[in-house]
């Protein structure tokens, strides 16, 4: 039953994409379009048969690059050391972090020397820690790319987080993924529990006082929840680098968000909280369908364009099997519904239970907004002109909310889209270098008198530069 449902969902999603992408990048003639869909369906059915007959030895001998490797295996493949850490949150989820303790140039050294720069990196919706390393063989993945371009004498320690519910975080102290209660979470819970647990664990493990945070998409959403709902964590982060921040989303034009609004928001109080896209062989299937030369590869490109925006020159076709061999990595339907709610309301607010949970919010039927004024961490924002999910209008609206905004960086590519932040061909020059350059510049200008002094310093800087930049761009 589950296998039949999986095939049905996969084929259905294929035709949904087809319907939504007429005249996008498909063959212009009807015969060509029909051939693409027929090839796709036949490949799916054939792959299912082969997948179910594979042995573990077949998997180990697969010649599909990084697509069938775990994130730790990918990191080791590129010659870097890696550690796996399981972190238990306050509400019982066990989330896994992948740590690259040092770079090739530093070699193995004691924790106390040389001086280290601790970085926490958090992925977006349906992503996992692979987002930061999957293109590392070409020095593009930010998790590996940072250490290749850094001029600092500090030893960079990357900690790649994984949100609950993804490939690496499906454990709980009392719940099983087969139980609906396991999936009763949205991005609010990621900010309330996952990010604080990760920050505390890493700071304790490294004996550092604070860390640098880099988030992409939902990696920024969760961060803004943490710092507004648990403001004591502001002091634990030196600088937040927000890539394609998903804060306000009323201008989102992604086909995925349109489906959220049209299908789920009207029945938000009736949709069960379950795993999103629970198809075990999806990623292996993607690796097969998306390899270079496969007749179905155009479909893979189209799906990525529809999610975050089309930027064909930045899409590495050779990396598609690896990218889609790790993504989508899993989440909950409630997380999708929470984003859909924000698209409709235009607000950054808590989950709307529509009366289904009267104990929430002191009996109020209106979900409260997050108090962004409580965020005192210095924030650097990076955005793209062609981002279908984090539209520039929404990004600039969010930028005005932060009194500690220290950098507002528009990526130097008019076609730069949402997923380009983690997978673009020119990610090294367009993202990695600006992020690292500003991180080092910021570290060198930090005032010596602690968090309060830092905030005062940044507020002064704002009055001279940042607000002028924002006003000029509006």
Active site residues: 217, 418
Residue 396 CA to residue 344 CA, distance in Å, equals 18
Give CA separation, 35 vs 45, 48, 50, 188, in Å: 15, 20, 22, 43
Residue 295 CA to residue 39 CA, distance in Å, equals 7
Q: Could you tell me which residues are beta bridge partners of residue 213?
A: 120, 240
**DSSP one-letter code for 418:** T
Side-chain-side CA neighbours of residue 272 (13 Å): 6
**DSSP one-letter code for 370:** P
* Rounded to 5°, angle at Cα 16 from 415 and 297: 60
- Of how many residues is the chain composed? 474
Residue 228 CA to residue 299 CA, distance in Å, equals 40
**DSSP one-letter code for 374:** G
- Give me the DSSP letters along 324-361: HHH-S---BHHHHHHHHHHHHH-S-B----TTS-TTGG
Query: From the CB of residue 7, how many other CB atoms can be counted at a distance below 10 Å?
Result: 15
- Structure tokens given for 404: 């500690």
Residue 92 CA to residue 169 CA, distance in Å, equals 11
Q: Could you tell me which residues are beta bridge partners of residue 160?
A: 98, 121
Contact 365, 355 (CB under 8 A): yes
DSSP reduced 3-state for 138? helix
DSSP reduced 3-state for 363? helix
Q: Tokens 């493990």 correspond to what residue?
A: 205
């Amino acid at each position: 039953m589950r296998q039949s449902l999986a095939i049905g969902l996969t084929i259905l999603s294929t035709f949904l994409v087809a319907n939504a992408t007429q005249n996008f990048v498909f063959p212009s003639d009807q015969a060509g379009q029909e051939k693409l869909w027929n090839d796709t369906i036949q490949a799916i059915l054939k792959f299912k048969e082969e997948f179910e007959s594979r042995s573990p030895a077949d998997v180990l001998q697969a010649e599909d690059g990084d697509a069938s490797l775990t994130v730790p295996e990918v990191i080791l493949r590129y010659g870097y050391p890696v550690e796996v850490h399981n972190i238990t949150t306050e509400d019982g989820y066990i989330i896994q972090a992948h740590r690259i303790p040092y770079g090739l140039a530093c070699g193995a050294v004691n924790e106390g020397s040389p001086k280290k720069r601790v970085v926490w990196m958090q992925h977006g919706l349906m992503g996992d820690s692979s987002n930061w390393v999957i293109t590392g063989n070409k020095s593009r993945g930010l998790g590996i790319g940072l250490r290749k371009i850094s001029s600092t004498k500090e030893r960079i320690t990357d900690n790649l987080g994984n949100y609950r519910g993804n490939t690496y975080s499906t454990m709980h102290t009392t719940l099983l993924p087969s139980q609906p209660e396991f999936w009763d979470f949205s991005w609010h819970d990621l900010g309330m529990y996952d990010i604080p647990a990760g920050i505390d664990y890493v700071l304790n493990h490294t004996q550092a006082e604070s860390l640098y945070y880099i988030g992409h998409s939902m990696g920024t959403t969760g961060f803004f929840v943490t710092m507004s709902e648990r403001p004591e964590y502001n002091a634990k982060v030196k600088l937040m680098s927000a890539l394609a921040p998903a804060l306000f989303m009323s201008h989102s034009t992604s086909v995925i968000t349109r489906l959220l609004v049209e299908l789920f928001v009207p029945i938000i109080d009736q949709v069960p909280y379950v795993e999103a896209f629970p198809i075990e062989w999806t990623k292996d299937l993607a690796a097969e369908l998306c390899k270079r030369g496969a007749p179905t590869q155009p479909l893979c490109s189209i799906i990525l364009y529809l999610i975050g925006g089309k930027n064909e020159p930045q899409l590495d076709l050779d990396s598609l099997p690896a990218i889609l061999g790790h993504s989508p990595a899993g989440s909950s339907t409630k997380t999708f519904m929470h984003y859909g709610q924000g698209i409709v309301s235009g607000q950054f607010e808590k989950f709307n239970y529509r009366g289904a949970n009267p104990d929430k919010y002191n009996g109020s039927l209106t979900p409260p907004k997050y108090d962004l004024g409580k965020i005192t961490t210095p924030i650097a924002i990076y955005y793209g002109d062609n981002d279908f999910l984090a539209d520039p209008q929404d990004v600039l609206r969010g930028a005005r909310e932060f009194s500690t905004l220290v950098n507002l960086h528009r990526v130097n590519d008019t076609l730069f889209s949402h997923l380009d932040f983690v997978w673009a061909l020119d990610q090294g020059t367009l993202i990695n270098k600006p992020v690292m350059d500003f991180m080092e510049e910021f570290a060198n200008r930090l005032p010596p008198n602690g968090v309060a002094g830092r905030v005062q310093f940044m507020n002064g800087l704002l009055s001279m530069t940042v607000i002028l930049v924002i006003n000029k761009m509006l």
